[in-house]
Structure 1
Amino acid sequence: LKARLTELGMLMSYSRPRVSNDNPYSEALFRTVKYCPAWPSKGFKSLSAVREWMLMFEQAYNEQHLHSGIQYVTPAERHRGLDHARLEQRKAVYEEAKRRHPRRWSGSTRNWAQTESVSLNPGKVHEIERNKQAA
């Protein structure tokens, strides 16, 4: 398992219960799922109902939800390299709006530059890279 995780660029987690710093990605996802407006307030009737709901959540999260950490594009757009075109289009819309109505703008338009690397735990990125090189 450890070799496969290293191959995938993942670190082993020896996390303690309810300590979010031990496993930030899973904790962040759990919070997102738990506070989703579609989360069933009365729970799930079966394991298959949970699985079905999670598949729908995953689809919406990756294909529809605009994420602030990656300039309000979907993870699917980012993964497929389609975010650059969307961000360029937004930049053009904002610049045109400013050109048409300059009094509405007190400064420059929003920065729609593509976000580079995104990490919940940036210090671990270097450790992952070292593990990949060692493997």
Structure 2
Amino acid sequence: HAMTTKPVLHGDNGSTLKATTVLAMLYWLGVKPSYSRPRVSDDNAYVESLFRTAKYRPEFPDKGFADLDEARAWASHFVRWYNHEHRHSGIRYVSPAQRHAGDDTAILAARHALYLQARERHPRRWSGVTRNWTPIAAVTLNPERDAVVKARSGCVDTQPLAA
């Protein structure tokens, strides 16, 4: 038989969504409340950052979407752009697809060489070192938790993560 699922209302851990009257209304409507945990992929900070990126895309419709199919089509194009074209600062301005394929190492090495050439040609424009183009060793949502887990398990991190 087909399993029915309740719609979910996801929010932060604020008092509004936890208020008894709101919870009673959600229960009455058949809506399951969901709460964020800090520094996980559906934490409000991450979701709001993603929403902001989406809303400020030039092709985002000012007046909303005509229907659900139009919204889904737009979201599909956005996800493709976000993963294959958008350069993310947290991974040294390569796309997630480039990072996932391992292409970031060659791209970042080429950028580093270009910066060194520019500094050599115009040394007065440079006050010190060039930008750090070393590949990011690991990407994590919970660096604090990961450090605690490593410390308790006796693992030693021989290469510190770049900020």
Which SS does the other structure have where 2:75 is aligned?
helix
| Structure with the higher helix share, 1 or 2 | 1
**Greater Cα radius of gyration, structure 1 or 2:** 2
CA distance in 1, matches of 2:51, 2:71: 14
For 2:119, the aligned partner's letter is K
Counterpart selection for 2:84 from 63, 75, 82: 63
Percent same amino acid among aligned pairs? 47
Q: Deviations over 1:107-133 (max 9, x none)?
A: 01111001122233324557999xxxx
User: Which one of 124, 129, 132 corresponds to residue 103 of structure 1?
Assistant: 124
Q: When the two structures are aligned, how many residues end up with a matched partner?
A: 115
The aligned counterpart of 1:49 is: 70
Q: CA RMSD in A?
A: 2.8
* Correspondence 1:10-49 to 2 at 5 A: 17-19=11-13, 22=37, 23-24=42-43, 25-49=46-70
**Unpaired segments of 5 or more residues in structure 2?**
1-8, 14-34, 151-163
* TM-score, normalisation: structure 1: 0.72
More strand by share: 2
2:135 alignment counterpart: 114
Aligned residue identity for 1:48: D
Partner SS, residue 73 of structure 2: helix
In structure 1, stretches of 5+ residues that fail to align are: 1-14, 130-135
TM-score w.r.t. the length of structure 2 is: 0.61
